[in-house]
Chains A and B, each alone.
Chain A
Amino acid sequence: MSVDELKIVQAVSGLGIAGNDEGLIPAFGLYLTKHLADYYNRISFATARRLEKQGLAEDGRTLLIEAGHVCAFNTFGGIMMSAEWDAVVQPMIQTREDWIRGMVGVVNAFGWGRWSVGQLEPNERLTISIDDSYEARGWIRDYPQSDVPRCYLASGGVAGLMNLLYIGDITSRPALTEEYYTKLFREGDHFVAREERCVARGDQRCEITARRKSAW
């Protein structure tokens, strides 16, 4: 395997990403923040719980995972077409699947916990295991054990990786437009992720699998 994840994590975490003179962090064609995990967890879980009480649990889950799709599309997509990617990750890439291994290396510098690529069947299936998922950590700190998985952002992210690579083709540097997003996440037999194990539900670690919609 050619992708050196540790080297990627060290390179990205060593970039010293911080606010400029305007207090903003423009990078990868985005505005980044180093945000409070507690904030995301509080607003996401409160929204999910409110909808669950109204009998709309699945709607809440879908909405929050959709936010993860948006994150993956723009953040992962932006990074995979950035100069930093070209400098650090691209030289390690030998196969199409290395794009996923490379992006997981970058994710591991985001402070989201440790992502590990498990089963990866090209164009079919991806399983990501996560230790110290910030979402699951936040849940177990503030709430009783959950009946359902709680890593919404991560679930959207895992599906996004597969959709960027196999439904679209991020390697061809497409424009990240609304139309392209719709093609990747709303049309045809795109990838959908399910969190099959979650620390919030009492499992040892979180595990998310993305498969074609028709395969579930």
Chain B
Amino acid sequence: MSAQPEFDANRNLLTLGGSQLVFHCHHYNLHLQRTVDEALGADAGRALQRSAAGESARRMLSTLFAGQPREERLASASTLFSQLGFGLSDITSLSESGGRVVLVTSHYAVGWRSKWGEPPRAVCHFATGYWAGALSAATGLEPERIVADEVQCAAAGAESCIIELEVR
């Protein structure tokens, strides 16, 4: 799978798998996350961000996975997650029927702690949605059949972030 974004120098657009990529830093990412959480309420904000991450990741990965052997897809999603700067994911406990992803590092957890210290709850909403979208794209299952939750978060003091994924 080619995971190299293409830069269109005429329009200044960066694309990967037909999806547009944009550079942004942890200050913007975390501030926007907190803005959404505060505007909508923590639960609704988290749900929106997970859903948006799942939808956008699934769209990109479904294109990238086309023609790729099924058994390689989750590893590709992990490699891409790192290349894009979202963190280092250990997927040894993840299969097509679900499991867990351990984020050894997480952009959102590292960023939150560096900006504001320890949060009251898990903050890796994007990563949680990304992995739900990746599992959906890898298996072809409808996104509604995949439930993902971040059960511990390094930003909140845990050793690592853990995302559990269940296929219904």
Contacts and interface: CB of A to CB of B under 8 A. Distances in A.
B128 interface: no
A71 B40 CA distance: 21
Contacts of B20: 36-38, 111, 134, 137
B59 A25 contact: no
B59 A111 contact: no
Interface residues of B, number: 51
Given A111-B7, A111-B21, A24 B12 contact: no
Contact of B13 (A35, A111, A153): A111
B25 A75 contact: yes
A112 B25 CA distance: 13
A46 B52 contact: yes
Contact of A36 (B13, B28, B39, B56): B56
A142 to B, nearest CB: 11
Contacts of B111: 31
Interface stretch (B68-76, B82-90, B91-99, B145-153): B82-90
Nearest to A42: B52
Interface string A13-43: 1000111011111001011111111111011
Contact of B82 (A23, A60, A111): A23
A70 B49 contact: no
Contacts of A51: 39
A64 interface: yes
Nearest to A51: B39
A90 interface: no
A32 B89 contact: no
Contacts of A114: 11-12
Given A34-B23, A37-B20, A113-B12, A23 B88 contact: yes
Given A22-B105, A39-B126, A70-B28, A33 B11 contact: no
A202 to B, nearest CB: 20
A113 B7 CA distance: 11
Interface in B1-52: 5, 7, 9, 11-14, 16, 19-29, 31-32, 35-36, 39-40, 48-49, 51-52
A25 B16 CA distance: 18
Nearest to B39: A47
Contact of A108 (B5, B12, B53): B12
B56 A38 contact: yes
Given A23-B89, A40-B32, A33 B25 contact: yes
Contacts of B48: 42-43, 46-47
Contacts of B56: 36, 38-39, 42
Contacts of A98: none
B39 A18 contact: no
B12 A74 contact: no
Contacts of B32: 40, 43-44, 64, 67
A40 B9 contact: no
A23 B52 contact: no
Given A67-B28, A134-B22, A111 B12 contact: yes
B107 interface: yes
Interface of B: 5, 7, 9, 11-14, 16, 19-29, 31-32, 35-36, 39-40, 48-49, 51-53, 55-57, 59-60, 81-89, 104-105, 107, 110-111, 114, 126
